[in-house]
Amino acid sequence: MTFRDTLDLAVRNLKQSKLRTGLTTLGVSIGIATRAGMVSLGVGLQDQFVGRFTKSGMFDSINVLPGSVGQITFGPGRGGRGPARRPFGRNAAAAAAQAQSQSPSGEVKEITDETLKELAALPNVREAYPGLRLPVEVKFGGDSEFNTATGVPMSVKNEGAFQSIPHGRFFADENEAACLLSLDLAKRMNDANPAGLIGKELMLNYASSSGSGQAAPGMPAGVTRGESKCTIVGIIERETGPFAAAGGVSPLMIPLPKAREIFHASPQAAQMLARDPTRTSRPYPSAVVKVKSPQATQDVEEQIKKLGLSAFSLNDALEGAKRAFIILDIVLSLIGSIALAVSSLGIMNTMVMSILERTREIGIMKAIGGSDGDIRRIFLIEASAIGFLGGAAGIVLGWSVGRIINIGANVYIERQGGTAGNLFSLPWWLIAGAIGFSIAVSLMAGLYPAARAAKLDPIKALRHD
Amino acid sequence: MPAVLETTDLRKHYQMGDTTVRALDGVNLSVNEGEFVGLLGTSGSGKSTLLNLIAGLDRASGGSLRIFDQDLATMGSMELSMHRRRNVGIIFQSFNLVSSMTALENVTLAMMFAGVPRGERETRASSLLEAMGLGGRQHHRPRELSGGEQQRVAIARALSNQPRLLLADEPTGNLDSRTSREIMTVLKDLNEREGKTIIMVTHDPGLARQYAHRIVTMLDGVVVDPSEVPA
């Protein structure tokens, strides 16, 4: 008996009792829809979460901070952010003293230009650059405010937050006297028409120890006011969130060489060099290492730690989140599995009933030469066909219900000020998986009834009415 | 004439509660190729049990049962189903057609199990039904056919895999006398023109005497001389 013949027989049997087949299939489809819906929700939430991270473009970045082996330190008052964020007017000597107390010689590895070269030489590293966030006074028109300027390398063009620049453009080259503004800052400067700021000039003031600037009132001796003009070339939408800072996005962005210049000309640098003649430059508060592929991040992170530096990447946070999602997926799957278990009992019941009804027919088939195997296959294929139909219908059902929930949820999310997205995701593997799974579950449910049918005694079956 | 069937001390016992029922209790029987044997006996004599064993629908408890030089006692369930689809064609009192299938489909079903290709199945089934005088009724379902017509479909089905041995269990038991004669004529023709060996179970001595070459009488699970049977 060929597979085609068996299939034909199974299908005609199913057609024979359309109502029962239909109801059983509906039961299976509800089970599959629930289960697939739960997986879909898990995947959708994960996509939303991970997708938002990916948009920040920071999967291939590692933040490097000074530190000793195995020590991960970041946060205010220490390492990267501390010195750079020190308020403008604060006593530089005290600051330097504090900086030194934090770095007893030999214990803490600092980030210098040599360190950057070391980092850049590591395998799988695309580039390494200092993470510079400088306190500056921004002057525009008659107004001024203190803010942070970030040094941005040319390589981040078209990456992460710079992927799309709503107004204007990225720096033309690294020596351009240009700056990029965040939309927040731009709105503060010109609420009505932020885009109109493009082409206008800003003045940046900062503390400097070089002689070029004018003496700053209220500052220690030797500290002058540095000045730098820049043209606003673009406005980017700032991606808010806990890791935005690591993304190199701040209210104001200037080309990295300019930021380096300001950093090395700072009074803190001069103080440090004066105190320790062996130094050639002020160490950087942090560095960013770009890896060639996100997969290499973990490995490179290990290597950086071996150099005696602290390192962390979004991947670390993401690993934790992924684990949380696995647990969520398991819980959702379990809920879905209960629905599926119920529908598989439905299949079993339908098959058992159908065998009871068709006992005589089974007897006839055996008497005219049907083997146990033939009978078993007919029933298994019937069960699989119910599974296939139920799986396909379940996907359609699950998708429809998902869409409806999604629309409702997005209305709510938007009302709360969030961004709408797809809470349910239906990748092709989920469709194939759900149908495959449905067939497998139905086959399992059909095993016992099919075996029972195959083992029927033909003589008793023929006497059955 | 070579023996198609040979039984030696064939026994079939089964438990019914505490008592052992000896449905067959040492049957010795030999049937030659081309014979038309009438298996006669009262109800409970064991004649149907014997037919079921020959058909491979049931297993013997002891003794030997050789058909076409194969011992059915040693066969597994797969081999028994092969025996049913190749060596024998069975005709039942209650026709045993699949009610949801047309006459043609009922005949092709048997060939489906035997692995006959689709196209050939349909041609063969069609010509068999034609030969049974059912040319115009191929697409009717059993409930749309008369008893005699249903039995003709069953005979076509029994012949579909070209067995040399036809087994008939009270083939006219559910038919009126005129239809009975028609069906018996069909069987007689198959025996005479196509050389099919036929073993027919019946409780009607007249019918057996009229059509069979030889009558085998059974009583309480053994073959007996007809004179021993109480009237």
Residue A331's pLDDT is what?
A: 86
DSSP state of A142: T
Show Cβ contacts of residue A256 under 8 Å, excluding neighbours closer than 6 positions.
A129, A130, A132, A151, A152, A153, A154, A174
A160-179 average pLDDT score? 83
Q: Give yes or no for residue B44 having a pLDDT over 50.
A: yes
Dihedral sign, Cα of residue B190, residue B195, residue B199, residue B204: positive
β-pair type (A133-140, A143-152): antiparallel
Residue B86's pLDDT is what?
A: 92
Single-letter amino acid, residue B165: L
Question: Which of B162, B187, B204 is at the close of a domain?
Answer: B162
Take residue A247 and report the two structure tokens written for it.
């993304």
Residues B175 and B83 in one domain: yes
Tell me the residues of B at the A interface, defined by beta carbons under 8 Å apart.
52, 55, 57-58, 77-78, 81-82, 84-86, 90, 92, 96-100, 109-110, 112-115, 118, 157-158, 161
Nearest CA in chain B to A15: B100
Single-letter amino acid, residue A278: T
Residue A52's pLDDT is what?
A: 64
Task: Indicate the range of A191-195, A314-318, A426-430, B222-226 predicted with least confidence.
Answer: A314-318
User: Distance (Å, rounded) from C-alpha B135 to C-alpha B147?
Assistant: 16
- The percent of residues in chain A predicted with pLDDT above 90, rounded, is 18
User: Distance (Å, rounded) from C-alpha A77 to C-alpha A313?
Assistant: 20
Q: Do B113 and A372 touch (CB under 8 A)?
A: no
Take residue B118 and report the two structure tokens written for it.
């689709």
Asked if A370 reaches chain B (Cβ–Cβ under 8 Å), the answer is yes
B187-209 average pLDDT score? 93
Task: Indicate the range of A44-48, A77-81, B22-26 predicted with least confidence.
Answer: A77-81
What number of C-beta contacts closer than 8 Å exist between A and B? 66
Give the angle subtended at the CA of A75 by the CAs of A70 and A76, to the nearest 5°: 135
The more confidently predicted of residues A46 and A435 is: A435
Residue A57 banded pLDDT, cuts 50, 70, 90: low
Residue A385's pLDDT is what?
A: 93
Residue A58's pLDDT is what?
A: 61
**Most A CBs within 10 Å, among B14, B109, B162, B201, to test the A interface:** B109
CA distance B122 to chain A (A): 13
Show Cβ contacts of residue A91 under 8 Å, excluding neighbours closer than 6 positions.
A220
Residue B231's pLDDT is what?
A: 53
CA distances (Å), A140 to each of A130, A146, A437, in order?
A: 28, 12, 64
Residues B76 and B128 in one domain: no
CA distances (Å), A20 to each of A353, A356, B84, B226, in order?
A: 10, 14, 33, 54
Chain B residues touching A372 at Cβ < 8 A? 77-78, 81
Take residue B171 and report the two structure tokens written for it.
């083939």
DSSP structure string for chain B: --EEEEEEEEEEEEEETTEEEEEEEEEEEEEETT-EEEEEE-TTSSHHHHHHHHHTSS--SEEEEEETTEEGGG--HHHHHHHHHHTEEEE-TT----TTS-HHHHHHHHHHHTT--HHHHHHHHHHHHHHTT-GGGTT--GGGS-HHHHHHHHHHHHHTT--SEEEEESTTTTS-HHHHHHHHHHHHHHHHHS--EEEEEES-HHHHHHH-SEEEEEETTEEE-GGGS--
Single-letter amino acid, residue A67: G
Q: Which domain holds residue B130?
A: 96-162
Q: Do A368 and B113 touch (CB under 8 A)?
A: yes
Q: How many CB atoms lie within 10 A of CB A443?
A: 18
Nearest CA in chain A to B85: A369
Taking CB atoms within 8 Å and a gap of at least 24, the contacts of A338-341 are A339/A30, A339/A31, A339/A34, A339/A35, A340/A31, A340/A32, A340/A34, A340/A35, A340/A441, A341/A31
Q: Give yes or no for residue A407 having a pLDDT over 70.
A: yes
Domain count, chain B: 2
Residue A102's pLDDT is what?
A: 45
Residues B173 and B149 in one domain: no
A 327-366 residues with CB below 8 A of B? 360-361, 363-366
Q: Give yes or no for residue B167 having a pLDDT over 90.
A: yes
Residue A197's pLDDT is what?
A: 87
Residue B214's pLDDT is what?
A: 93
Residue A133's pLDDT is what?
A: 85
User: What digits encode the pLDDT tens for the residues A81-125?
Assistant: 334 444 444 444 444 444 444 444 456 788 888 889 989 999 989
The more confidently predicted of residues B72 and A159 is: B72
Q: Give yes or no for residue B165 having a pLDDT over 60.
A: yes
Task: Indicate the range of A157-161, A277-281, A461-465, B204-208 predicted with least confidence.
Answer: A157-161
Q: Do B100 and A363 touch (CB under 8 A)?
A: no
User: What digits encode the pLDDT tens for the residues A9-53?
Assistant: 999 989 988 998 999 999 999 988 888 888 878 877 777 776 666
Residue A401's pLDDT is what?
A: 87
Please name the member of B58, B92, B113 whose beta carbon is closest to the beta carbon of A369: B113
B135-153 average pLDDT score? 95
Angle between helices A428-454 and A18-55 (to 10 degrees): 150
Nearest CA in chain A to B107: A368
Instruction: Give chain A's radius of gyration (CA, Å).
Output: 34
Residue A240 banded pLDDT, cuts 50, 70, 90: very low
User: Distance (Å, rounded) from C-alpha A114 to C-alpha A87?
Assistant: 28
Asked if A17 reaches chain B (Cβ–Cβ under 8 Å), the answer is no
B112-132 average pLDDT score? 95
Residue A242's pLDDT is what?
A: 40
Q: Give yes or no for residue A360 having a pLDDT over 90.
A: yes
Residue A307's pLDDT is what?
A: 85
CA distance A358 to chain B (A): 10
Residue B60's pLDDT is what?
A: 93
CB A160 within 8 A of CB A180: no
User: What digits encode the pLDDT tens for the residues A366-376?
Assistant: 999 999 999 99
For chain A, domain boundaries: 3-54+321-463, 61-292
Q: Give yes or no for residue A298 having a pLDDT over 70.
A: yes
Question: Which of B144, B162, B180 is at the close of a domain?
Answer: B162
B111-130 average pLDDT score? 95
Residue A211 banded pLDDT, cuts 50, 70, 90: low
Question: Which of B127, B144, B162 is at the close of a domain?
Answer: B162
Residue B1 banded pLDDT, cuts 50, 70, 90: low
CA distances (Å), B48 to each of A230, A379, B39, B53, B198, in order?
A: 109, 30, 9, 9, 14
Nearest CA in chain A to B97: A364
User: What digits encode the pLDDT tens for the residues B61-93?
Assistant: 999 999 998 999 889 999 999 999 999 999 999
Give the angle subtended at the CA of A386 by the CAs of A385 and A389, to the nearest 5°: 85
Residue B155's pLDDT is what?
A: 96
As a whole number, the mean pLDDT across chain A is: 80
User: Distance (Å, rounded) from C-alpha A255 to C-alpha A263?
Assistant: 13
DSSP H stretches of helix in A242-371: 256-264, 267-275, 297-306, 314-357, 359-367
For the ranges A33-37, A65-69, A389-393, the maximum mean pLDDT occurs at A389-393
For the ranges A18-32, A157-171, A208-222, the maximum mean pLDDT occurs at A18-32
- Which residue has tokens 């049918």? A453
Please name the member of B57, B110, B114 whose beta carbon is closest to the beta carbon of A458: B57
User: Distance (Å, rounded) from C-alpha B12 to C-alpha B109?
Assistant: 31
A186-203 average pLDDT score? 85
Please name the member of A1, A2, A367 whose beta carbon is closest to the beta carbon of B90: A367
A335-351 average pLDDT score? 85
Residue A55's pLDDT is what?
A: 55
User: What digits encode the pLDDT tens for the residues A125-157?
Assistant: 988 999 888 888 888 888 888 888 888 888 877
Q: Do A368 and B57 touch (CB under 8 A)?
A: no
A368-395 average pLDDT score? 93
β-pair type (A224-236, A214-215): antiparallel
Enter the ipTM. Answer: 0.93
Take residue A54 and report the two structure tokens written for it.
């990916």
CB A308 within 8 A of CB A72: no
Torsion of CA A33, A36, A38, A39, to 10 degrees: 180
Q: Give yes or no for residue A457 having a pLDDT over 90.
A: yes
Residue B53's pLDDT is what?
A: 95
Residue A241's pLDDT is what?
A: 41
Residues B120 and B231 in one domain: no
Residue A327's pLDDT is what?
A: 86
Residue A428 banded pLDDT, cuts 50, 70, 90: confident
Q: Give yes or no for residue A419 having a pLDDT over 50.
A: yes
* 3-state helix/strand/coil string of A192-220: CCHHHHCCCEEEEEEEECCCCCEECCCCC
Q: Do B96 and A365 touch (CB under 8 A)?
A: no
Nearest CA in chain B to A361: B98
Residue A246's pLDDT is what?
A: 46
Residues B225 and B192 in one domain: yes
Residues B2 and B83 in one domain: yes
**Most B CBs within 10 Å, among A364, A365, A372, to test the B interface:** A364
